[in-house]
Structure 1
Amino acid sequence: MTCAILDDEPLALDLLADYCAQVPGLELKGQFDDALAGLAFLQDTPVDLVFLDIHMPRLTGVQLAQLLPQPGPRIIFTTAYDQYAVRSYELNAADYLLKPIAFERFLQAVQKVRQQLASSSAAPQATGLAPAPTAPTEPQAASADAMFVKNEHRLQRVAFNDILYIEGMKEYLMIYTTTGKVLTLQSFRRVEEVLPPDRFARIHKSYLVALSRIEHLERGKVQVAGRLLPIGDTYRESFASLIKAYNQL
């Protein structure tokens, strides 16, 4: 079984590579700390399994998975966040590995993929994401259509459909919605873990936009709700790939 690893954290990348070397029959074809380099490799080199970090610069793991050729590899997402955040993506990943990753848990996930590949002929997949694992007993956020953010001394509900764009303001975020603005003491990283990746995109170190709210693109900027927002150089290529993939505008 062949695999690849994509993770922007060097220690996590090295750890997973070491784990792969310890598993008989698991051949590591490539490891990347850059999402776009990893995507280019996977578009040209088919593998059976990808260990994919959810949050990476320029392109999230979720966005990358959706850009892979189909039928694609099985995906095992890795994340430092708990499973409630991961489940909000509504994805059919083969498995989730929560950092720090123990070898025993890694081996369990690999074995699960082996079993899925062995039985895949009986259940052909429409996408490269594998069948969903057995539902856990805890409540899930898979059907969530909103998120709760800290606003002063309360948690305020913000519906995904209402979000226009989000602006970073040092340690705060300003969420612009169809009904007003919400200021929250929160990080982009945490918000990106919760927002549906097929509906939102980071375009700049200070801006994240709802794809459905983009009015037009012009000269390295996007217009949302009448305001022109810059597309940062770091995000330009990944954003262009998303626009092309989803036939936006």
Structure 2
Amino acid sequence: MTCAILDDEPLALDLLADYCAQVPGLELKGQFDDALVGLAFLQDNPVDIVFLDVHMPRLTGLQLAQLLPTPGPRIIFTTAYDQYAVRSYDLNAADYLLKPIAFDRFVQAVQKVRQQLASAAPATLPAAPASPEAPVVAPDAMFVKNEHRLQRVAFDDILYIEGMKEYLMLYTTAGKVLTLQSFRRVEEVLPPDRFARIHKSYLVALSRIEHVERGKVQIAGRLLPIGDTYREPFFNLIKAYNLL
């Protein structure tokens, strides 16, 4: 399958391009930070999938989707705002990815389009010969919104994450990063075998735990509480992690 990416954030473009390179059978034909330039390319260069940011200057992703040729590519919208999900499905979008985008969620969206294209193909066409799939490399970092940029945060650098109402404070070996994000979205991105929610306000890196005592976890010299709701699954997880 062929694809193109339209996003006005350079880091988001780089992240999606990297994801595309890791998926066997997915060929990136172009990436654009200008909606009008991307539209001109798509009108002359048909692709199977367009990863389309909702918020772009001059022309939004929702407006651009209505200007694409018919029959056009499958649209996968990408945005940090979930309030546009209903509108995107009104435009027959194949999928809707919320930033920060987890690699497994990206692969799921691509597979959905792959299945749609396969079911829409004429039954008389011979099946393409199977080719050995290259191993998919798991991501080692995530991108989070920090002020007016997307900041890369390596999983290995994360000590713990603290919830602060609608914000999250990421404590890392390089310092603190404040981002407007929910625990739910971050938990979808983080490897579940390396991180654990221990409290409604705290999520910790298992490898950074110094010790556990009296219902608290110490990381980087700070004691963090273990909530009653999270106590049993947390202790089951660290037993599996061979910390006990």
**TM-score, scaled relative to structure 1:** 0.47
Structure 1 or 2, whichever has the larger Rg, is: 2
**TM-score, scaled relative to structure 2:** 0.48
Higher relative contact order (CA 8 A, sep 6+): 1
